Structure 1
Amino acid sequence: MASTATHADKTNAADKSIGFDYQYYYFLLQVLNLKVGQSVGFEVKDDVHTELGQNRNIFYQLKHTTQVAANGQPVALTKLDKDMWKTFYNWAMVITDKVAGREQVEKQLEFTRQSEFHLVANKKHSNSNTIFEAISKLQANSIAADAAKLVLEAAEQSTTDDGIKNYINKILSLDLPVLESFLLSIKFELDVADIVGLVKQAVQEFHIETAKVPDVLAAIDSNLRAHIFQKVKDGEAVILSFEDFHAKFRKHFNDARSTKLTIKSFLPSMPDDLFSQVFIKRLLEVKYLNVVDVEIAADLTTKKLQLAMHLDHWDKMGEVTSKDISTLHDNVRTLWQGKFRADFIDCEDKDIEKIGRGILREMLGATFPLCDDVLSIQHSNGEIYHLSDIGRIGWHKDWETK
């Protein structure tokens, strides 16, 4: 039957893209788990590798599949899985690399004994995978190396795929002590599907509140991707040590642990009629604005809305309570009230607008505390406009009756 897939379908890069992201997030996971003196490489010695010190290395091959079984779950890792055998083949090539000085069996043994080889995949474990079973039994010391080799030979004989045969034969060509050491060093990390969830958990384990984890991860993610891009652009290896990571990224964790309120990049939706807003009318009353100052009115409205959106966000995230917000409003109104009463004593009618603008100017120069933080000047201004908008403060002597 002829294929119904279009050329675009066949060349779709989605599978490659998710495979790259899977590899990247596993790299980030290893970076987050670094200890002092350790480092992690991205596409240097392997997809990902960790240097533990004292010439010990962990090599990670990442395999992500979009294929699913009848139950909708990722397919299982079978005994003739091409990704598995290609991974083993690549490691065997590294073990026997002449350029790296590992032509002799002694050097190969030394290398395998100093290394671990991790196959990480979102594929499920299969009880019928005789290769997985043989390696597990060898590592449990319940079968010998020659018995494990027989299982590999049986797999080679059971396939007609020349590619898989080639991969298996390369592994079988290893000297038996080297093959044994290699198989003893293989680790399977299967069913690793929610890689982003594991990364979030690793971030949280830096003593970061759950609500702040997404923001911390977003900051680290964007900066790390930029770091990788620059390294690759400069032709340099992407390797991050514990010390590098601490120097470059600790600020994101410190900020999340601080008592300062988080600042978001909210984009408020502007009202259709800026000049119908109560706080704008209050500003017009003392001639702080004119009806032609559309851009200024829009800027002041943005400050008001930004403050309101942040108060709602902080309340929902548990950074402040409704009582804290009420206290902020009450304190700002009290400050305004003192200035308003003092400045309008014995006020002549001709000075009302000027005095009103003076009170406004003083208020706009103030910043207001909220919990253990202090609002920025923009948010403090927004608080003033917000209180005016809800009818709690004004600038004209007779603002309440106008």
Structure 2
Amino acid sequence: MAETKTIQEQHTAGPQAIGFDYQFYYFMLLALDLKFGQKIGFEVKDDVHIDKEDGTTILYQAKHTIIKNAKGKPQNLTELDTDLWKTLSNWADFIIADKSSDFLKKHTFILVTNKSESNNDFITTLNLFKADNDSDKVKLKIKELGNKTKDETLKKYLKKVTKLSKSKLELFLKKLWIEIGEDKIIDKIKNKILEKYYQENLVDPIFEKFSSELNLSKYLDIKAGQKFEISGSEFGKRFGKCFKVSNEIRPLPKREFPVLLPDDLESQIFIKQLLDIGEIQPGSNDIRNYTTQMLKFLNHFTYWSEEENFILLTDIEEFKNNSIQIWINEFKAKYRKIERQINYGSAIEDLEDDIKNLGVDLVDYIRKQDLSIPGFSALGIEFSNGHYYALSDKLEIGWHFDWSNKYKKE
């Protein structure tokens, strides 16, 4: 059974598949920084390439391993790593095929890998060359590595690089970069999205939409026999909708917060206002229910605006102003006749019964409002009512025609 499992494992493409995924996600990471005048391609000129505004091109080879070292990190990129030398050999082929030096002058070469580095003599020698420009040391190091290995394929890769003329080898080495330890690529993409939008709650939705749309576009373009390339100017047209999630109407998250009712429920200003117009009676269960609605809203509003910063300060102000304006408009409509009667000399005390009835009507109208905070879906009637109770408790709105004088004196 164990032997059968080993044979099956040899025929699975898991490690290879994740290698392709790594290339794609690295492409996605670079695409997020694409500028106007640039063009990025996937599996066109290399694993990934970027054509820059000045006519030069960056070629990327992305290599991934699932093998871990003793510390649980991706295995080291050794000086005789097959991925390393196969990549350099392929680039050497490109350079040799071009009889002039135009290809070298116009290209930069970057090998990206999640592998770690530990005492890689070739990388050390390459870094020294960038300081002293002595290509003979590099060539000597490559020949030493060729003598160290018995792998004929690896020997062929090493030899291909040494076939470059001195001038071409020097220019190649100057334009060659090896980026090791590029692991957790998805986290890096999400961090890049966070840097652009500054709201952590938007990162996952944007990532999911962008990666899905990018992958689908890749499949359809290649299936249609087209190159999968994206220019900076067309990026917004093709994928801008993936980032509109930051502007989409979405619900605010809700949690279960403990509701701590005050000892004297009827001493609350908003309850006094409702008692005075006869909307509720002393001792009514409505008093507890209305207080619970207000506190549930206030707990969530604090969570949204202060603890998690889902809501911008400007949105909070707009939400509040809009809520109060709805009340102002209906208050004026309800009490227009009462105001006219008082202006003509009627005593407010003589109009008290009418005022209380209109006050109840005003409360009924306001309770039907399903408010929303800019950028988010409607709060629902319960939270909207709770918000208005909170406003009336702070004496920012009222129900009685003379509410501002009746309660601000207390």
Instruction: Give the TM-score normalised by the residue count of structure 2.
Output: 0.64
Question: Does structure 1 conserve the Cα–Cα contact (< 8 Å) formed by 2:369 and 2:384?
Answer: no
Q: Aligned residue for 2:236?
A: 246
Aligned equivalents of 1:19 and 1:367: distance in 2? 54
8 A contact 1:63–1:120 mirrored in 2: yes
SS of match in other structure, 1:112? helix
Could you tell me how far apart the structure 2 residues matched to 1:38 and 1:201 are?
22
Bigger CA drift: 160-169 or 12-21? 12-21
1:168, CA displacement in angstroms?
Answer: 0.8
| 2:107 is aligned with 1:115 | yes
Give the match's secondary structure for 2:225: coil
Deviation at 1:77, TM superposition (A): 0.8
Partner Cα separation in structure 1 for residue 232 and residue 369 of structure 2: 39
Aligned to 1:223: 213
Among residues 110, 129, 133, which one is paired with 2:124 in the alignment? 133
TM-fit CA distance, 1:220: 0.8
Distance 1:245 1:122 in 2: 27
Name the SS of the counterpart of 2:239 in structure 1: helix
- Does 2:173 match 1:183? yes
Please say which of residues 109-118 and 146-155 is displaced more in the overlay: 109-118
SS in 1 for 2:226: coil
* Larger Cα-atom Rg: 2
Alpha-carbon shift at residue 116 of structure 1 (Å): 1.0
- Give the counterpart letter for 1:136 in structure 2: N
Shift in Å, 1:318: 4.4
Q: 1:123 to 1:385 in 2, by over 3 A?
A: closer
- 2:371 matched to 1:369? yes
Which digits, 9 at most, give the CA deviation of each residue in 1:296-349, with x for residues without a partner? xxxxxxxxxxxx9xx89978964369xx8xx99xx8xx99xx9xxx9xxxxxxx
The alignment status of 1:262 with 2:262, answered yes or no, reads: no
- Measured on the aligned residues, the alpha-carbon RMSD in Å equals 3.8
In structure 2, the CA distance between the partners of 1:368 and 1:6, relative to structure 1 (3 Å rule), is: same
1:126 maps to amino acid: S
Which piece of structure 1 moves more, 201-210 or 70-79?
201-210
- Partner deviation per Cα, 1:123-167 (whole Å, 9 max, x = no partner): 11122x2211111111112x5112211111111111100000011
Give the secondary-structure state (helix, strand or coil) at the position aligned to 1:205.
helix
Aligned residue runs from structure 1 range 206-221, under 5 A = 206-221=196-211
Tell whether the 8 Å contact from 1:117 to 1:186 is kept in structure 2 after alignment: yes
Secondary structure at the counterpart of residue 59 of structure 2:
strand
Judged with a 3 Å threshold, the aligned counterparts in structure 2 of structure 1 residues 231 and 72 are, in CA distance, closer, same or farther, namely: same
Q: Considering fraction of residues, name the structure with more helix.
A: 2
* Residue identity in the other structure for 1:133: T
Q: Could you say which residue in structure 2 is the equivalent of 1:170?
A: 160
Q: 1:183 to 1:3 in 2, by over 3 A?
A: farther
Kept in 2, the 8 Å contact 1:135–1:148? The answer is: yes
Residue 369 of structure 1: CA displacement?
Answer: 2.5
SS at match of 1:6: helix
Report the counterpart of residue 34 of structure 1 in structure 2. 34
In structure 2, stretches of 5+ residues that fail to align are 253-296, 335-363, 386-410
SS, match of residue 96 in structure 1: helix
Cα distance in 2, alignment partners of residues 263 and 56 from structure 1: 46
Amino acid at match of 2:188: L
Q: What secondary structure is seen at the aligned counterpart in 1 of 2:158?
A: helix
Match of 1:161 in 2: 151
Distance 1:78 1:384, change over 3 A: same
Change over 3 Å in CA distance of 1:373–1:213 after alignment to 2: closer
Aligned residues: 304
